[in-house]
Amino acid sequence: MNSKPSFSTQSLEPSKIPSHIAIIMDGNGRWAEKRLMNRIKGHEKGSATVRNIVRSCREIGIDHLTLYAFSTENWQRPKTEIAALMTLLKKFLKSEQKELADNNIRLKTIGQIERLPIDVQKELNRAMSTTKANDGMQLHLALSYGGRAEIVKMVKDIATKAKEGKIELEAITPELVSEHLYTGHLPDPDLLIRTGGDMRISNFLLWQIAYAEIYVTDTLWPDFSREEFVKILFAYQQRERRFGKI
Ligand code: IPE
Ligand code: IPE
Ligand code: MG
């Protein structure tokens, strides 16, 4: 008999389903290196995990899923790895068209989209426009995303408006700051998951994770399963979120 506890989605408390989950999908390279394979193979395997977890989130009833797919710092990787990641992204967007439509999922992005290759931007725009009426779940892909770059952009946007007399200093509130980030009016993430075991944020959603529950698993992203995901959701539901209160 399997002695491991198995958690079905039925074990989740419906009133405590997080509205927004953010995931740092880390460990693709190590997954491949462990198998003496090229790192790209790990990214390929990782894209299957993306499909699986997106589907799981939709089934569980998550409103927003934000996936860290490529950081501003990732531009410093070898050109061949960047090119392979971009090709994979394009392939993913094409192959997931039907999946997104069938599951009523709207695709959005956060990050410096203008830095991505034109063909990738085109594919993204197409996927965003064909899914824009879908209201089952929003899938936000963080691409060429960095929390610091996002904050700098927000400061510039607000400073410009202040200089032009469009906003008073008194109007600069946490809400206004939030609105000027890529995530705009999205609720902040309730739960932040990082695979690959590293206890760090790596420039992800710095402002937005102020009160996110953090869960780090040693599992490498290509091995991350629906079962483990549900287990994390279950653990999240046992946590007491105090928000500074008692
Ligand atoms: C995460 O996996 C995917 C991206 C950053 C694009 P990594 O490529 O960082 O994998 P590791 O951390 O080297 O194992
Ligand atoms: C974080 O992973 C970025 C993504 C998952 C896209 P990294 O592998 O780039 O982060 P570090 O280098 O371990 O901090
Ligand atoms: Mg990594």
Q: What is the DSSP string of 167-210?
A: S-GGG--HHHHHHTSTTTTPPPPSEEEE-SS----TTSSTTTTT
Cα dist from 65 to 48, 62, 110, 115, whole Å? 16, 7, 12, 23
pLDDT at 182 over 50: yes
pLDDT at 122 over 70: yes
The span from the CA of 144 to the CA of 152, in Å, is 15
Near ion ligand 3, which residues have CB within 5 Å? 26
**φ and ψ at residue 34, rounded to 5 degrees:** -60, -30
Average pLDDT, the chain: 96
Instruction: Indicate the pTM of the whole model.
Output: 0.96
Whether residue 74 has its Cβ less than 6 Å from ligand 2: yes
Distance (angstroms) between ligand 1 centre and the Cα of 210 equals 24
Distance (angstroms) between ligand 1 centre and the Cα of 152 equals 25
Whether residue 34 has its Cβ less than 6 Å from ligand 2: no
Distance (angstroms) between ligand 1 centre and the Cα of 241 equals 30
Whether residue 137 has its Cβ less than 6 Å from ligand 2: no
Distance (angstroms) between ligand 3 centre and the Cα of 215 equals 16
- Among residues 38, 74, 134, 203, the one annotated as catalytic is 74
From 24, 28, 141, give the residue whose CB has the most ligand 1 atoms within 8 Å, as the site to mutate: 28
Residue 7: the pLDDT is 59
Question: DSSP secondary-structure letter at 4?
Answer: S
Residue 3: the pLDDT is 45
- What ligand has the least distance to the C-alpha of 202? 2
Task: Give me the residue spans of the domains in the chain.
Answer: 30-61+83-105+122-135, 147-186
Q: Residues 102-109: what's their mean pLDDT?
A: 98
Whether residue 70 has its Cβ less than 6 Å from ligand 2: yes
Residue 8: the pLDDT is 75
Distance (angstroms) between ligand 1 centre and the Cα of 131 equals 28
pLDDT at 145 over 80: yes
Q: Which two tokens stand for residue 108?
A: 């959005």
Residue 95: the pLDDT is 96
Q: Residues 213-222: what's their mean pLDDT?
A: 98
Q: Which two tokens stand for residue 50?
A: 């993306």
Whether residue 75 has its Cβ less than 6 Å from ligand 2: no
pLDDT at 121 over 50: yes
Tell me whether residue 104 is one of the annotated catalytic residues: no
| pLDDT above 90: percentage of residues in the chain | 96
pLDDT at 192 over 70: yes
pLDDT-based confidence at 228, cuts 50/70/90?
very high
- pLDDT digits over 1-55, tens only? 444 445 577 789 999 999 999 999 999 999 999 999 999 999 999 999 999 999 9
The span from the CA of 156 to the CA of 57, in Å, is 35
